[in-house]
């Protein structure tokens, strides 16, 4: 029946049904080999269009069949050959033949991408040599091939597919000196530092290779978060005279790092990149600089922190106040996402009253959504503090003028603002209550710790005070020339004894005084500072007390062998203290 219908009108193959499907599309969708063969060999006006001209019959065939389907490879070959014959005819169109391979379906995939994702080796064999985008020459889409190679490796597809794609990639490299760059890129994908360094040692010029979209081996190292090799790649590019200046934001290695939220990679690039060539103020097609992109990233907090830390002061004010095509500064975006970064909001060079295209200031972004987003309560508190600090430094008349300006530039309806402010106050109260509870717990912790420390400090104070009047060796008796003076006062060890005792007493008494101040204070921050100071003084007074004891016994036993052994024995206290400090420091690291 199909054969008779096709022969009756060989130009009728382009007619679509109510769903927008042509006859060959339906046949391909269902894997009807005989019908596909009849249409491909008989029809003169072959139409492979699918739904809304988004897909083709080749899409439908590969999506709905596989390498286990009988005759699937033959059907693919029939359609490709028929399309090629039609494009070669006098009235044929090469554009239509190219569209067969370049057209993307609703998922954004081409026929070759579907063949790779299906792990359909024969389909890749048939399509790859015919796809105009991947033929050797200046127009070859090497970036597209590399994406397919990475996907095939990551998803564990057939080695035959990886080999086919790799051969096509290498065949598209015109410059002989860049042959072998595929091995360098794949080594970065494997995070194989040894292989990368070995390749750079033998063929450093590989780093100058560029794909059709401008990507170099450095871009792939960034894409795979291969931070440890960035230094070697950038150095190799410098040595080879490769330009580190890029035409647009999208072609820069930084863009790949920011786009995928790789904070450590971005920071590493900022550390290694020559400051004169760093694209701090470069923007993409939406007018967004690197800070705009970072604020929209998943790991926005860490990324913004990194950029502000390594960005030179000469560029900070510019990138902070730079507006994109919608008029938004980075602060607009951060506040709308509820991302709280204190040093950004309080930065002196930041214009917190800048208006976007909707005449909204960063502060107004708090009221765009009805509900509170993430850390917007903390942001509002910080912005209120900034405005308060700005007002306090001015006269009363100026303060009133500033307040009027704030309300004048705000276009949020009063009812909406009042409703959202009510939510802010509720959450602020909860936040303050939570903070107050934490303060109480902290104060209780300090109180418990202080009770123990006061006991130790009092004991040290008592001992050091008593020792100051109990002199080793005794005093000269009545009737002697130096009556009442210390017998051993002329020995150097005695001077050490007196100085260390005085210092131990001074520090222990000071520590007690700080504990006294601490008991009268309710501010956890002040209490923590006083407690830390007292603890340090306590430790120093213990060390001073040990020195006093060592010096006191040495001055009495200085002429005997026992004095040396005695000193060596007590010096182990300092070794033990040093070891304890070292272990605590290692644990904290």
* Under 8 Å between Cβ of 507 and 456: no
The span from the CA of 517 to the CA of 529, in Å, is 11
In 3D space, the residue among 492, 498, 501, 499 whose CA is nearest the CA of residue 558 turns out to be: 492
* Under 8 Å between Cβ of 26 and 15: no
* Under 8 Å between Cβ of 292 and 304: no
The least confident of 310-319, 428-437, 529-538 is: 428-437
Q: Which two tokens stand for residue 347?
A: 């930065």
Residues 6+ away with beta carbon under 8 Å from 318:
280, 281
The span from the CA of 391 to the CA of 143, in Å, is 55
Residue 69 confidence (pLDDT) above 50? yes
Assess if residue 208 is contained within a domain.
no
Assess if residue 2 is contained within a domain.
no
Average pLDDT over residues 154-168: 92
In 3D space, the residue among 271, 154, 312 whose CA is nearest the CA of residue 223 turns out to be: 154
* Under 8 Å between Cβ of 142 and 169: yes
* Under 8 Å between Cβ of 351 and 316: no
Assess if residue 343 is contained within a domain.
no
Assess if residue 203 is contained within a domain.
no
pLDDT score, position 536 = 87
In 3D space, the residue among 379, 343, 347, 365 whose CA is nearest the CA of residue 409 turns out to be: 365
Assess if residue 417 is contained within a domain.
no
pLDDT band at 481 (very low <50, low <70, confident <90, very high): low
* Under 8 Å between Cβ of 532 and 453: no
pLDDT digits (tens, 9 = 90+) for 398-446: 444 444 344 444 566 666 667 666 776 777 777 777 777 777 777 777 7
pLDDT digits (tens, 9 = 90+) for 338-385: 777 776 766 666 777 788 888 888 878 877 777 776 777 777 777 776
The span from the CA of 345 to the CA of 331, in Å, is 8
Q: Which two tokens stand for residue 479?
A: 């009737």
pLDDT score, position 568 = 59
Assess if residue 299 is contained within a domain.
no
The span from the CA of 458 to the CA of 439, in Å, is 27
Helix (H) or strand (E) holding 469: none
Assess if residue 101 is contained within a domain.
no
Q: Which two tokens stand for residue 179?
A: 């042959």
Residues in the chain: 589
* Under 8 Å between Cβ of 279 and 249: yes
Assess if residue 540 is contained within a domain.
yes
Place of tokens 């990475």: 150
498 lies in which domain range? 444-477+484-588
Place of tokens 């994406």: 147
Q: Which two tokens stand for residue 283?
A: 């923007």
Q: Which two tokens stand for residue 189?
A: 């994908």
* Under 8 Å between Cβ of 61 and 114: no
In 3D space, the residue among 255, 245, 254 whose CA is nearest the CA of residue 276 turns out to be: 245
Nearest-5° Cα angle at 88, 82 to 93:
95
The span from the CA of 55 to the CA of 102, in Å, is 10
In 3D space, the residue among 429, 509, 527 whose CA is nearest the CA of residue 465 turns out to be: 509
Place of tokens 């104070």: 461
pLDDT band at 558 (very low <50, low <70, confident <90, very high): low
How many domains is the chain partitioned into structurally?
Answer: 1
The span from the CA of 158 to the CA of 174, in Å, is 27
pLDDT score, position 483 = 55
pTM of the model: 0.67
- The mean pLDDT of the chain is 78
Place of tokens 């590493």: 268
pLDDT score, position 280 = 75
């Amino acid at each position: 029946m199909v054969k008779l219908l096709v022969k009756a009108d060989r130009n009728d193959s382009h007619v679509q049904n109510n769903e927008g499907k042509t006859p060959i599309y339906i046949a391909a969708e269902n894997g009807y080999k005989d019908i596909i063969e009849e249409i491909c060999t008989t029809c003169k006006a072959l139409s492979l269009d699918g739904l809304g001209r988004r897909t083709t019959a080749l899409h439908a065939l590969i999506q709905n069949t596989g390498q286990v389907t009988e005759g699937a490879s033959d059907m693919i070959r029939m359609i490709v050959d028929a399309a090629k014959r039609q494009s070669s005819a006098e009235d044929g169109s090469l554009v239509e033949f190219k569209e067969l391979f370049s057209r993307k379906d609703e998922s954004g995939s081409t026929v070759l991408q579907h063949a790779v994702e299906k792990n359909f080796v024969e389909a890749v064999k048939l399509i790859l040599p015919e796809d105009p985008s991947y033929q050797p020459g200046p127009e070859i889409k090497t970036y597209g091939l590399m994406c397919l190679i990475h996907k095939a490796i990551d998803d564990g597809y057939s080695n035959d597919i990886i080999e086919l794609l790799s051969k096509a990639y290498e065949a598209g490299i015109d410059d002989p000196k860049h042959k072998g760059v595929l091995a360098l890129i794949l080594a970065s994908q494997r995070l194989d530092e040894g292989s990368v360094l070995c390749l750079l040692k033998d063929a450093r010029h590989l780093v100058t290779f560029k794909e059709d979209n401008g990507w170099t081996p450095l871009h792939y190292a960034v894409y795979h978060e291969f931070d440890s090799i960035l230094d070697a790649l950038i150095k190799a590019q410098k040595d080879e005279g490769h330009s580190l200046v890029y035409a647009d934001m999208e072609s820069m290695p930084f863009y790949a790092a920011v786009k995928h939220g790789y904070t450590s990679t971005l920071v590493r690039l900022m550390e290694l990149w020559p400051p004169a060539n760093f694209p701090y103020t470069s923007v993409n097609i939406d007018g967004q600089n690197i800070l705009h992109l970072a604020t929209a990233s998943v790991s926005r907090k860490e990324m913004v922190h990194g950029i502000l830390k390594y960005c030179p002061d000469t560029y900070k004010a510019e990138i902070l106040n730079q507006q994109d095509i919608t008029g938004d500064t980075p602060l607009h975006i951060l506040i709308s996402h509820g991302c709280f970064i204190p040093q950004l909001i309080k930065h002196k060079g930041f214009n917190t009253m800048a208006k976007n295209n909707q005449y909204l200031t960063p502060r107004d972004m708090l009221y765009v959504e009805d509900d509170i987003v993430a850390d917007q309560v903390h942001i509002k508190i910080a912005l209120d503090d900034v405005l308060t600090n700005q007002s306090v430094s001015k006269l009363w008349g100026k303060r009133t003028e500033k307040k009027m300006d704030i309300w004048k530039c705000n276009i949020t309806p009063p009812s909406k603002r009042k409703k959202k402010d009510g939510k802010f106050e509720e959450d602020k109260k909860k936040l303050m209550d939570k903070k107050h509870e934490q303060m109480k717990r902290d104060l209780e912790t300090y109180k418990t710790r202080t009770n123990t420390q006061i006991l130790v400090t009092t004991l040290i104070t008592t001992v050091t005070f008593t020792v100051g009047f109990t002199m080793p060796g005794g005093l000269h008796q009545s009737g002697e020339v130096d009556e009442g003076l210390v017998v051993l006062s002329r020995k150097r060890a005695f001077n050490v004894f007196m100085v260390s005792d005085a210092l131990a007493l001074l520090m222990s008494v000071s520590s007690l005084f700080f504990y006294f101040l601490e008991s009268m204070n309710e501010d956890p921050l002040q209490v923590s500072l006083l407690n830390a100071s007292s603890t340090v003084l306590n430790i120093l007074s213990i060390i001073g007390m040990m020195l006093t004891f060592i010096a006191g016994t040495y001055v009495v036993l200085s002429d005997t062998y026992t004095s040396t052994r005695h000193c060596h024995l007590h010096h182990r206290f300092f070794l033990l203290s040093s070891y304890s400090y070292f272990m605590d420091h290692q644990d904290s690291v």
